[in-house]
Structure 1
Amino acid sequence: MLSHLKVIDLAVGLGDYTGRLLAELGAHVVRVEQRACAAEHAVDIAWNISKTRVTLDLESASGREQLLSMAADVDIVIRNAVDKPVDHAALERRNPRVVDVVVAPFDPAGPNAARPATDLTLMARSGLANIVGDPDRAPMTLPGEQAYALAGAHGVVAALTALHARAATGRGELVTISAFQAAVLANYREPVMWQFAQRIGKRTGNLLVRGKSGVRQVWRCRDGYVTWSFVDNPAMMRSLVKVMNEQGVKSLLDDIEWASTLIADSPRETVEAWERIVEEFFSRHTRNDLARWSVERGFGLSQIDGIDDVLASEQLRERSMWRTITDPRSGKALKIPGPLFVTSGSGRNAS
């Protein structure tokens, strides 16, 4: 798809994912690593797969000159600062058509430009961490480095948008991405709530708040967890009750007229009484059984897979979810996600 594009990736950590996504789309991405920092910044396999790696001493004048020579024949440069290891003007003199994408923690022209940041601090500062976790415990962050991933995805959109503009103007441009802003935009509800109502959202944990009440979303079953909730959908509710009846469970749920019951307006105490009945039922059955009944009867339940389930999934394997690579550090075979994009019907990488 993007096999005609050449990319130099100078990013370290933040911005790595921009190069990874472009590489998965078919671009030839060269990751330039500084010799002086090689030990400190070990290769992140997940985010730097599909890139060609070269080493340059960018602390030296000769190394920077080599970089500028390489940049004379590329479409995109990805880095973390507008002035390192060379400034945009130097890149532009060598290649007026280059799209220079800077993925930084904060707006390089803003008051926090020089402020250090990590994925954890970006998640906290953006407010994303504040809405993750149980309400009676401390905030939590999400698995992995989600703020970095969000910024990386924004970097791809920015790069491709600038390339589209270049097609019209014939010139490249400097594009800056704020990882902080990317994380804030992902947390769309809380900033909007504050802007228009001056309200700060609260963590709700395993409770999806609807109207005056709330409903549980994740449930323990006999061999793990499933996700389901009471919904204002009479057909789905009747389907679950019917399955429960067939499995020998008779309860007050049998007598509820779901077509005239609005769960969002039901008292939380009432919903909790209903949930205790469902909780007992789910706890006696396996994820597979519950999921199979849901598919057959349509009551909207999904099983939650663990890591081993995901790795062993025949469905994911048939859809090219995994690839096996050799760890350049240990020489061991590793199974990692990918390819990220597959062409329709071919089963091959979109590149």
Structure 2
Amino acid sequence: MMLSHIKVVDLTRDLGAYAGTLLARMGAQVVTTGTTERDAAELAMDQYGKTTSDTPLLDLIDAADIVFRGPEDCPPELSPEALAKRNPKLIDVAILPFDAGRANDGRPATDLTLMARSGLMTIVGDPGRPPLTLPGRQAWALAGIQGAIAALTALNARAADGMGQQAQVSAYRSAVLANYREPLTWEWVGKVGTRTGNLLIRGKSGVRQVWRAKDGWVTWALVDNQPMMRATVARMAEDGMAGELAEVDWDAILVADMPQDVLQRWEGIVEAWLATKDRATLTVLSNKHGMGLSAISEVEDVLASDHLAARGLWEETIVAGKTVKVPGMLFREVGP
């Protein structure tokens, strides 16, 4: 495995714990000192592949390549300066709620508050309703991903000069960077995004993105993609359900400039047709004819996927006394 020669000491508790898991999934030897009261599903995400050890902590660090630390207070002997003196080749990555030394340094933070401050919750949900957050602990997961990237980047640099590095990752900044569109919109035009629900706003109007199929949900949108629109309407016409859409010259109009009431009328025709097809049938039609449609998988679909199973994605492990299915190795080496 690609990182089997790398030793990691994970001092995190919750925030930052995912960084060590990602390296463990790439084969690194990850020893954790963290304790947590989280449920089995969260432990599977943040602690999978890690081990504990009776070896004194400082001895582990002396032999380590990477150490991950969270926002928890640490004794003087575990400070970045002290560890750098003990092990000059050590890569020391701190994963914190906010940038150290900046305005919010030291303020309490949870995944929920970090998501809210990042702006992601501003654009998630339906208009006129309270903001929503995404499932799981997304800000913490994003920070863990950035922490793993920081460690691997420093590891690559160490291969050139033999020296360790110190890096800091902000969970708040990680979440803001994931919200790629809104910060740029604010910076360039001074506007803050809003919740649009099941609408993709283009031009003067908005078009639906998620639709009910016969056995679940699919994603598709009535947009200015003429080949896609012709392919979809042709399939509807085969079933005698295209209605007035069969008369539309898609090369002569801009969907983004169409009145909202016209779009809603057209979408009603599409909605009726999609509801007659199951997701598998719609997927086959889309792939064959270029309809631009994708099926939305439920959790059960992902776990039961023959495609993913054939690639060895899932592994079973016991976490907190429960058998759970978790993703396996991120990468697999292929022999000659």
State the TM-score bracket (shorter-chain normalisation).
over 0.9
Q: Which of 134, 147, 170 is the matching residue for 1:142?
A: 134
The answer to whether the Cα contact below 8 Å between 1:9 and 1:30 also exists between their aligned partners in 2 is yes
What is residue 119 of structure 1 aligned with on the other side? Answer: 111
**What 5-or-longer segments of structure 2 have no aligned partner?**
none
Q: Which of 305, 312, 320 is the matching residue for 2:312?
A: 320
SS of the aligned residue for 2:63 comes to coil
What is residue 254 of structure 2 aligned with on the other side? Answer: 262
Correspondence 1:298 to 2:283: no
What is the Cα deviation at residue 119 of structure 1?
Answer: 0.8
CA distance in 2, matches of 1:55, 1:84: 19
CA distance in 1, matches of 2:312, 2:281: 26
What is residue 65 of structure 2 aligned with on the other side? Answer: 75
Q: Any residues of structure 2 matched to 1:1-351 within 5 Å, and which?
A: 1-33=2-34, 38=35, 40=37, 44-54=43-53, 66-81=56-71, 84-85=74-75, 86-327=78-319, 329-330=320-321, 332-344=322-334
CA distance in 1, matches of 2:296, 2:159: 45
The answer to whether the Cα contact below 8 Å between 1:151 and 1:178 also exists between their aligned partners in 2 is yes
The answer to whether the Cα contact below 8 Å between 1:14 and 1:103 also exists between their aligned partners in 2 is yes
What is the Cα deviation at residue 300 of structure 1?
Answer: 1.2
Q: Deviations over 1:134-178 (max 9, x none)?
A: 112111101111111111111111112222332333321221111
What is the Cα deviation at residue 39 of structure 1?
Answer: 6.3
Aligned residues: 331
Amino acid in structure 1 at the alignment position of 2:326: I
What is residue 62 of structure 1 aligned with on the other side? Answer: none
CA distance in 2, matches of 1:81, 1:169: 29
The answer to whether the Cα contact below 8 Å between 1:82 and 1:88 also exists between their aligned partners in 2 is no
What is the Cα deviation at residue 333 of structure 1?
Answer: 2.6
The answer to whether the Cα contact below 8 Å between 2:15 and 2:140 also exists between their aligned partners in 1 is yes
Amino acid in structure 2 at the alignment position of 1:69: D
Distance change in 2, residues 1:41/1:297 (3 Å):
closer
**TM-score normalised by the chain length of structure 2:** 0.93
Q: Deviations over 1:261-306 (max 9, x none)?
A: 2111222221111101001111222222222221222211111111
**What 5-or-longer segments of structure 1 have no aligned partner?**
57-65, 347-351
CA distance in 1, matches of 2:186, 2:154: 32
The answer to whether the Cα contact below 8 Å between 1:9 and 1:31 also exists between their aligned partners in 2 is yes
CA distance in 2, matches of 1:202, 1:39: 36
CA distance in 2, matches of 1:39, 1:210: 45
Which deviates more from structure 2 when the two are superposed, residues 40-49 or residues 13-22? 40-49
The answer to whether the Cα contact below 8 Å between 1:82 and 1:108 also exists between their aligned partners in 2 is no
What is the Cα deviation at residue 209 of structure 1?
Answer: 0.9
The answer to whether the Cα contact below 8 Å between 2:66 and 2:92 also exists between their aligned partners in 1 is yes
Overall identity of the aligned pairs, in %: 50
4+ residue runs over 6 A deviation: none
CA distance in 2, matches of 1:199, 1:282: 35
Q: Deviations over 1:16-63 (max 9, x none)?
A: 111011111121111113xxxx4646771222111112368xxxxxxx
CA distance in 2, matches of 1:198, 1:250: 42
CA distance in 2, matches of 1:337, 1:263: 41
Distance change in 2, residues 1:83/1:165 (3 Å):
farther
Amino acid in structure 1 at the alignment position of 2:253: T
CA distance in 2, matches of 1:167, 1:250: 62
